[in-house]
């Protein structure tokens, strides 16, 4: 059953990108020749004309984290795999992808300003204030949660800290090579991408064991410092190469997952109990399927956080409106594939 479900879901996502994505593109009036803020307001810091391949990697890496893995698994265990998969596939095509795509296009046409700033122009100053407060609270929550998770992981598995440090150094070198030499993206990728995977192996061999009594606290402070530095560096120096290289890890994971299903046929382990297609409309912990399903799989099918990425960084770097569909709509469907494989 796993094989036709995954293959069928993948085909629907591809069809959604080609057919419905193109329909949304027409409705938005996307024009390849309309100047973008990256070209008209280039400053070398935040507004930087960027290759669509790098920007796809940045956008996909920014939205795909633990959410599209943990959320779908929890929802499938609560209500069954069928409603989870239906929401992932249909929701990402008709809701999540459209939200990400339209937000990016809207931000491009508003000078690459954030959703909060656009709300002031299109709704009212009060709407702007409410949006900015919401965004601020969201970012504080996300940073605190992932800061704690990362520091805990580093403390328990010091090899991950080594790999992450090597990865950041490699990203900085890659950014400098791309923008300060004529190496080109293809040649830089041939060197940097294998080194990214090698960094994982080296981390296992040389774990970063801190000689302090509270390694988790030390890692917390180090990560706060990293966030501060990363937030003020030019996007081409760290954000772009970091997320571009990270996207290759995600592509490899998706490819391996699909290949595993195709070769293995989705056969469960001996003695494993198959998850029922439908378990009911109510779960003892999550409550009713509506709205629990759509909140639990928020990131795998639709997420308001994505609009922060679309209007916060991506809109400042995109060089053509034609790139908006593969970058925004495409990234959402790639995330849906990740959620699909998780289930």
Euclidean distance between CA atoms 169 and 163, whole angstroms: 10
What are the tens digits of pLDDT across the range 107-150?
A: 999 999 988 889 888 899 999 999 889 888 888 888 888 899 99
CA angle 58, 161, 171 (to 5 degrees): 35
What are the counts of helices (DSSP H) followed by strands (DSSP E) for the chain? 18, 2
pLDDT of residue 11: 96
Q: What average pLDDT does range 41-51 have in this prediction?
A: 95
The distance of Cα 155 from the centroid of its chain, to the nearest Å, equals 25
- What are 146's two structure tokens? 């992932």
How high does pLDDT run on average in the chain? 92
0.85 exceeded by pTM = yes
Domain ranges of the chain: 2-342
Euclidean distance between CA atoms 310 and 269, whole angstroms: 40
Q: What average pLDDT does range 175-203 have in this prediction?
A: 95
State the SS3 of 9-35: HHHHHHHHHHHHHHHHHHHCCCCCCCC
Euclidean distance between CA atoms 207 and 171, whole angstroms: 20
Helices 330-342 and 2-15: crossing angle, nearest 10°? 170
**Other beta carbons within 10 Å of 106:** 18
């Amino acid at each position: 059953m796993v094989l036709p479900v995954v293959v069928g879901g993948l085909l629907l996502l591809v069809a959604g990108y080609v057919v419905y994505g193109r329909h949304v593109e027409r409705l938005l009036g996307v024009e390849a020749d309309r100047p973008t803020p990256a070209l008209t307001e280039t400053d070398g810091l935040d507004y930087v004309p960027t290759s669509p391949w790098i920007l796809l990697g940045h956008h996909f890496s920014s939205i795909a984290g633990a959410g599209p893995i943990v959320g779908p698994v929890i929802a499938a265990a609560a209500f069954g795999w069928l409603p989870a998969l239906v929401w992932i596939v249909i929701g990402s095509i008709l809701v999540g992808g459209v939200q990400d795509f339209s937000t990016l296009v809207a931000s491009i046409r508003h000078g690459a300003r954030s959703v909060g700033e656009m709300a002031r122009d299109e709704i009212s100053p009060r709407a702007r204030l409410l949006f900015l407060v919401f965004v601020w609270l969201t970012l504080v929550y996300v940073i605190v949660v992932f800061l704690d998770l990362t520091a805990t992981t580093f403390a328990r598995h010091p090899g991950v800290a080594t790999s992450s440090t090597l990865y950041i150094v490699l990203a900085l070198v890659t950014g400098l090579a791309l923008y300060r030499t004529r190496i080109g993206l293809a040649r830089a990728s041939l060197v940097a991408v294998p080194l990214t995977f090698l960094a994982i192996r080296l981390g296992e061999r040389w774990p970063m064991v801190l000689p302090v009594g509270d390694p988790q606290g030390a890692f917390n402070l180090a990560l706060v410092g990293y966030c501060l530095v990363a937030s003020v560096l030019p996007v081409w120096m760290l954000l772009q190469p970091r997320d571009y290289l990270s996207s290759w890890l995600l592509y490899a994971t998706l490819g391996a997952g699909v290949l595993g299903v195709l070769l293995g046929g989705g056969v469960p382990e001996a003695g494993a109990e198959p998850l029922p297609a439908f378990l009911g409309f109510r779960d003892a912990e999550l409550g009713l399927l509506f709205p629990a399903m759509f909140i639990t799989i928020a990131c795998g099918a639709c997420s308001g956080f994505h609009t922060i990425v679309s209007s916060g960084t991506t809109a400042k770097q995109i060089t053509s409106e034609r790139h908006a569909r593969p970058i925004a709509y495409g990234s959402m469907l790639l995330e849906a594939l990740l959620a699909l494989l998780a289930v």
